[in-house]
Amino acid sequence: MKFTPFLDRVAKRLNLSTTLRSLILAALGFSLLGTLLALIYLLRGYSVPWFIFAISGTLSFLVALILALRSWANHRHAAHFADKHFDLKNGIVTSLHLSESQDSQLSSMQEQWTTTQLASCDPQTIPLRYSKKLAVLALLLTTATASMALIPTSQGVLDRQADEATTLDRSAEAIDALKKIVDDMEKDLSDDEAKELDLDTLKKHVDQLEATGNRKEAARQFARLEQKAREMSKELEQKRDEETLKKAIKNLKKSSSKEAKQIAKDLEDKKLNDAAKKLKQLAVKKPTGKKATKEQIAALKKQIEKLRSVSKQLSAASKSSSGNSAGAGAAGSLGLGADMQALDAQAKELANQLKQVELEFQRNPNANFDAFNAKLPQCNNALNQVANKWIRMQARQSAKKRLDGL
């Protein structure tokens, strides 16, 4: 038709208005959605990642595009609008309808009339239908939203991230160290000890540990593992103490010392409290007076001999246990074995100190016990350490019996 170019120009003008409105709508949608998503990060102290604005822009553009396509003008829309806008009394619409009919003469007359009327109509005079105020507002809001990308991460978050990174590194190092310790334990412990301690379960717990930057989570992980390791260590120490005690009983029974045999009998009868009392009775008494006398030296010798008749057997038992037990540090270097070795070492040093006093007394009748008295508390403390260990073992045995009876 002759006025088809005119309809093209009208449709183009209408679609320009639709495009402008859609762009404004897209900008407002981007501002609203972008601001909401950005605030999620900013309120937590983080900088806004670029993809937040990409998502907001894409979604807003798609919504605006869909709405624009639904309002997109074609020749029929342009004809209705032009008839109304230019007051053509539905001339263009009528021409379009007649062009589709069989009456070519009437269609030609209507088209000629419409073409004449359109000569004075200019599509450029059709106003663009959009809000300039809203466009300015959309521009300002879009600029404000985009400027949120320039806000840096807060110092508090940066400090926390640095702390998490440090915690993560330390956590990983600690896990590696734990794995090495477990591997060393597996090499050092005997098969029976490893089975008794359920070492496979501990290895499983360690393998399940994961490095984390969360201090609380790392603390919880290591606290659980530490508790398990302490329980295992306690069980191992108790088992080795019991083995050491059995060897001590055998050694004490072989001794010719009456005190040693009495203590051995109490230990064998599981009367550890009575054995501890008898052991404490062997504590060397502090000599009266500062000056040494022949009688005091002789009395101290007898006390130390009685003590050493027991401490030697105890020490030998712990050394025997140390030589026959495979384990980290061996049994004799930990727990009861270590205490019994320390007792004999202190008793031996005390005996040597008494010899020094005796030699000094032979040269000088005014010799004193000052050096001996200074050494005496260490020996008696070592003795009390062993005796108290026996008392605690008795308490554990009694508690175990009561629990087994429930």
User: What is the pLDDT confidence band of residue 367, given thresholds at 50, 70 and 90?
Assistant: confident
Three-state DSSP string of 77-89: HHHHHHHHHCCCC
Same domain assignment for residues 308 and 179 = no
- In this predicted structure, what is the pLDDT of residue 198? 64
Same domain assignment for residues 268 and 334 = yes
Q: Which two tokens stand for residue 183?
A: 């591997």
- Last residue of one domain, picked from the residues 115, 150, 185: 150
For residue range 163-196, list pLDDT tens digits in order.
Answer: 878 877 777 777 777 777 777 767 766 676 666 6
CA distances from 51 to 38, 48, 55, 57, 147 (A): 10, 9, 6, 10, 14
Same domain assignment for residues 297 and 189 = no
Contacts of 121 (CB under 8 A, 6+ apart): 6, 82, 86, 88
Q: Is pLDDT at 274 greater than 90 in this prediction?
A: yes
User: What is the pLDDT confidence band of residue 333, given thresholds at 50, 70 and 90?
Assistant: very low
- In this predicted structure, what is the pLDDT of residue 189? 67
60 or 119, which is more confident?
60
For helices 335-363 and 294-324, the axis angle rounded to 10 degrees is 150
- In this predicted structure, what is the pLDDT of residue 403? 66
Same domain assignment for residues 333 and 316 = yes
Q: Is pLDDT at 330 greater than 60 in this prediction?
A: no
- Name the residue range of residue 279's domain: 243-404
- Would you say the pTM of this structure is higher than 0.85? no
User: What is the pLDDT confidence band of residue 2, given thresholds at 50, 70 and 90?
Assistant: low
User: What is the pLDDT confidence band of residue 201, given thresholds at 50, 70 and 90?
Assistant: confident
366 or 234, which is more confident?
366
Query: What DSSP state is assigned to residue 198?
Result: T
Query: What DSSP state is assigned to residue 47?
Result: P
- In this predicted structure, what is the pLDDT of residue 190? 67
Radius of gyration of the chain (CA): 50
Q: What is the mean pLDDT of residues 137-156?
A: 92
User: What is the pLDDT confidence band of residue 215, given thresholds at 50, 70 and 90?
Assistant: low
Same domain assignment for residues 8 and 141 = yes
- In this predicted structure, what is the pLDDT of residue 192? 67
Burial class (CB in 10 A: 0-12, 13-18, 19+), 14: buried
Q: Is pLDDT at 389 greater than 70 in this prediction?
A: yes
Q: Is pLDDT at 99 greater than 80 in this prediction?
A: no
The average confidence (pLDDT) of the chain is 83
Q: Which of 94-108, 257-271, 303-317, 373-387 has the lowest mean pLDDT?
A: 94-108
Q: Evaluate the CA torsion angle 143, 144, 148, 150 in order and state its sign.
A: positive
Same domain assignment for residues 74 and 102 = yes
Q: What is the mean pLDDT of residues 111-133?
A: 86
Total domains in the chain come to 3
Q: What is the mean pLDDT of residues 120-142?
A: 91
Q: What are phi and psi of 368, to 5 degrees?
A: -125, 175
Q: Return the closest-CA partner of residue 267 out of 322, 350, 346, 340.
A: 340
User: What is the pLDDT confidence band of residue 329, given thresholds at 50, 70 and 90?
Assistant: very low
Please report, rounded to a whole number, the percentage of residues in the chain having pLDDT higher than 70: 86
298 or 211, which is more confident?
298
Q: Evaluate the CA torsion angle 193, 196, 197, 200 in order and state its sign.
A: positive
Same domain assignment for residues 305 and 391 = yes
d(CA 96, CA 1) in angstroms, rounded, equals 9
Q: Mean pLDDT highest for which of 90-104, 195-209, 309-323?
A: 309-323
Half-sphere exposure of 160 (CA within 13 A, CB side): 9
Q: Which two tokens stand for residue 177?
A: 């160290």
Q: Is pLDDT at 234 greater than 60 in this prediction?
A: yes
Same domain assignment for residues 252 and 400 = yes
d(CA 54, CA 222) in angstroms, rounded, equals 42
- In this predicted structure, what is the pLDDT of residue 197? 61
- In this predicted structure, what is the pLDDT of residue 115? 78
- In this predicted structure, what is the pLDDT of residue 30? 93
- In this predicted structure, what is the pLDDT of residue 348? 94
- Structural element, H or E, at residue 318: helix 294-324
Same domain assignment for residues 99 and 52 = yes
Same domain assignment for residues 62 and 96 = yes
d(CA 71, CA 158) in angstroms, rounded, equals 49
Same domain assignment for residues 63 and 123 = yes
- In this predicted structure, what is the pLDDT of residue 404? 64
For residue range 288-327, list pLDDT tens digits in order.
Answer: 877 888 889 999 999 999 999 999 999 988 876 654 443 4
214 or 126, which is more confident?
126
The DSSP bridge partners found for residue 368 are 291
Q: Return the closest-CA partner of residue 126 out of 23, 25, 11.
A: 11
For residue range 6-64, list pLDDT tens digits in order.
Answer: 888 989 999 999 999 999 999 999 999 999 999 999 999 999 999 999 999 999 999 99
- In this predicted structure, what is the pLDDT of residue 203? 73
- Last residue of one domain, picked from the residues 234, 263, 283: 234
- Last residue of one domain, picked from the residues 83, 115, 150: 150
User: What is the pLDDT confidence band of residue 225, given thresholds at 50, 70 and 90?
Assistant: low
- In this predicted structure, what is the pLDDT of residue 169? 79
- Give the burial string for 64-80 (b: 16+ CB within 10 Å, else e): beeebeeeebebebbbb
Q: Is 90 left (phi over 0), alpha (psi -120 to 50) or beta?
A: left
Same domain assignment for residues 269 and 391 = yes
204 or 212, which is more confident?
204
Q: Which ranges constitute the DSSP H helices of 325-367? A: 335-363
